[in-house]
Structure 1
Amino acid sequence: MTSRYIAIDWGSTNLRAWYYQGAECLESRYSEAGVTRLNGKSPQAVLADVTHGWRDEQTPVVMAGMVGSNVGWKVAPYLTVPAYFSAIGEKLTSPGDNIWIIPGLCVSRDDNCNVMRGEETQLLGARELSPSSVYVMPGTHCKWVRADAHQIHDFRTVMTGELHHLLLNHSLVGAGLPEQESSPVAFTAGLERGLDTPAILPQLFEVRAAHVLGNLPREQVSEFLSGLLIGAEVASMAEDFSDQHVTIVAGNTLSSRYQQALDAIGRKVAVVSGDLAFQTGIRSIAHAVAN
């Protein structure tokens, strides 16, 4: 019989688990018990709850994400970049019997200090699904990664998603706004502005001024701001990550926004689902552990 194993994406605010037999997912479960939301439970108890009925002592559990951070179950040390893809599955940390945590990646140089947890597992899957020399991984903290078929060479992080949230919800830019609506036109207008003028600090207050003066509909501020920030990010990062072929690893909404931005500067873009990339990556490690 093909070996069974459990793959888990355990982040700060939630947990997703998949029960596999070989390449077949037998069942999946979701929990809101992220590592910052354990509500007095131990990680061992949360794991037992979410995998109830799935495992015995022979069933390995492989986990990625913030579960391996200094606020998680047990610290899984970062691998320093440049790092071989193969090293990710060879440097696992065990917090318990037949339970394994995948390490994060870090860059530690005078010109670049960076860390990632969880995205390294997506990278493993993305490399298999859509090999590239540059991977763009949008989210709260967007990762730009340079790699080849064997190694991850460098990466940087841009806090675009978090900055959008902070400006819209906790700054004067978004103060007093009505419920926001979808607007491809407003997003494109912001995107063009950000691509043309990526030094956006002087432009941020203009977003507020534009809706105060009636030049930007108050319901479309979020969309314009999203375009402005993504455009500035892509314009700023494109010089350092100048390879022509880019693979975007994300969900549909963010993928389409970043694809529009990268298309605008003439990059060839492939898109991989972030969930599919994660599951493909963690399965490659879990299957090896199980066998």
Structure 2
Amino acid sequence: MTSRYIAIDWGSTNLRAWLYQGDECLDNRQSEAGVTRLNGRSPEAVLAEITHGWRDAATPVVMAGMVGSNVGWKVAPYLPVPVHFPAIGQQLTPVADKVWIIPGLSVSRDDNHNVMRGEETQLLGARQLAPASLYVMPGTHCKWVLADNQQIFDFRTVMTGELHHLLLNHSLVGAGLPEQETSPEAFAAGLEKGLCEPALLPQLFEVRASHVLGALPHEQVSEFLSGLLIGAEVATMCERFPGEQAITLVAGKSLADRYQQALSRVGRCSTFVSGDAAFQAGIRSIAHAVAN
């Protein structure tokens, strides 16, 4: 009989847990007890709470995400790239009896200093579900990852999601705006500008000037800004990763659609894999091996 195991995605602000028997998910739970929101509780106590009734002494737990960072339970050291995919699951950090954390990945060169934590688990799953030589992982900090079927060679990070949030909520660009609305037209207009003029710094204040002067509807600033930032990111990163590589987008559907639109405009085809599906496939591959 295939053993039970528990897979956990433990980030800064949220925690998600799945109980598996082989490849069958028996139950799942989620909590707002991310590693920065423990409210005085220990990680051990939070783990016991989220897995209550699931575990016996033989049930292994494999965790990924910020739980392995310097603000988490215990630092799970970064593996430097290039790194072979199987090595990710072979260098787990133990934190309690039959409880492990998956390592992050790092790049440290004169031309590139980068880290990831959590995305490496998504990469393991994306490699199974939609193998590619370039993985684009949109989100708060978008990762562009160069790989083949055997190993990860390099990656870069673009702070597109965070920059959009900061500009819209904590800068003059978004000051005084009403509630924002969805607008494919405003997004497409921003995307075109970002793709054609990816040097962003001179353009950011123009976003404010455009809505102050009436050239951009006040309710559509978020959409235009999203298109501008994603367009600039895609234009810049496609120059850094030129060629005809197969591209797999690992993200939620709505965000992946925006990046697919941008990639299509520069002549790059892409395949979409749900970020959740990729994460679960990746962590299951590690946890299943540990359990058996």
| Superimposed CA distance per residue, residues 127-152 of structure 1 (whole angstroms, 9 cap, x where no aligned partner) | 00000000000000000000000000
Note if 1:155 corresponds to 2:155.
yes
Which residue number in structure 2 is paired with residue 277 of structure 1?
Answer: 278
Q: Write the mapping of 1:195-274 to structure 2, written as runs, cut at 5 A.
A: 195-244=195-244, 245-274=246-275
Which residue number in structure 1 is paired with residue 122 of structure 2?
Answer: 122
| 2:135 counterpart letter in structure 1 | Y
| Superimposed CA distance per residue, residues 163-188 of structure 1 (whole angstroms, 9 cap, x where no aligned partner) | 00000000000000000000000000
Query: Is residue 77–residue 103 contact of structure 1 (8 Å, CA) maintained in 2?
Result: yes
| Superimposed CA distance per residue, residues 210-237 of structure 1 (whole angstroms, 9 cap, x where no aligned partner) | 0000000000000000000000000000
| 2:289 counterpart letter in structure 1 | A
| Superimposed CA distance per residue, residues 239-260 of structure 1 (whole angstroms, 9 cap, x where no aligned partner) | 1112422100000111000000
Which residue number in structure 1 is paired with residue 47 of structure 2?
Answer: 47
Say which is worse superposed, 177-186 or 234-243, in terms of deviation: 234-243
Which residue number in structure 2 is paired with residue 28 of structure 1?
Answer: 28
Note if 1:5 corresponds to 2:5.
yes
3-state SS of 2:186 partner = helix
Looking at structure 1, the residues matched to 139 and 49 of structure 2 have their Cα atoms a distance apart, in angstroms, of: 29
Which residue number in structure 1 is paired with residue 182 of structure 2?
Answer: 182
Q: CA RMSD in A?
A: 0.5
Query: Is residue 147–residue 154 contact of structure 1 (8 Å, CA) maintained in 2?
Result: yes
Question: For this pair of structures, how many residues does the alignment match?
Answer: 291
- Displacement of 1:10 in angstroms is 0.1
| 1:247 counterpart letter in structure 2 | T
Looking at structure 2, the residues matched to 240 and 210 of structure 1 have their Cα atoms a distance apart, in angstroms, of: 30
| 1:27 counterpart letter in structure 2 | D
- Displacement of 1:33 in angstroms is 0.3
- Displacement of 1:200 in angstroms is 1.0
Stretches of structure 2 that go unaligned for 5 or more consecutive residues are none
Looking at structure 2, the residues matched to 275 and 51 of structure 1 have their Cα atoms a distance apart, in angstroms, of: 20
| 1:262 counterpart letter in structure 2 | L
3-state SS of 1:239 partner = helix
| 1:289 counterpart letter in structure 2 | V
Which residue number in structure 1 is paired with residue 145 of structure 2?
Answer: 145
| 2:24 counterpart letter in structure 1 | E
3-state SS of 2:95 partner = strand
| 1:259 counterpart letter in structure 2 | Q
Note if 1:290 corresponds to 2:291.
yes
| 2:291 counterpart letter in structure 1 | A
Query: Is residue 134–residue 243 contact of structure 1 (8 Å, CA) maintained in 2?
Result: no
Note if 1:134 corresponds to 2:159.
no
Stretches of structure 1 that go unaligned for 5 or more consecutive residues are none
Which residue number in structure 1 is paired with residue 78 of structure 2?
Answer: 78
Say which is worse superposed, 233-242 or 280-289, in terms of deviation: 233-242
Relative to the length of structure 1, the TM-score reads 1.00
Please identify runs of 4+ aligned residues in structure 1 that moved more than 4 A: none
3-state SS of 2:215 partner = coil
Which residue number in structure 2 is paired with residue 60 of structure 1?
Answer: 60
- Displacement of 1:91 in angstroms is 0.4
| 2:272 counterpart letter in structure 1 | V
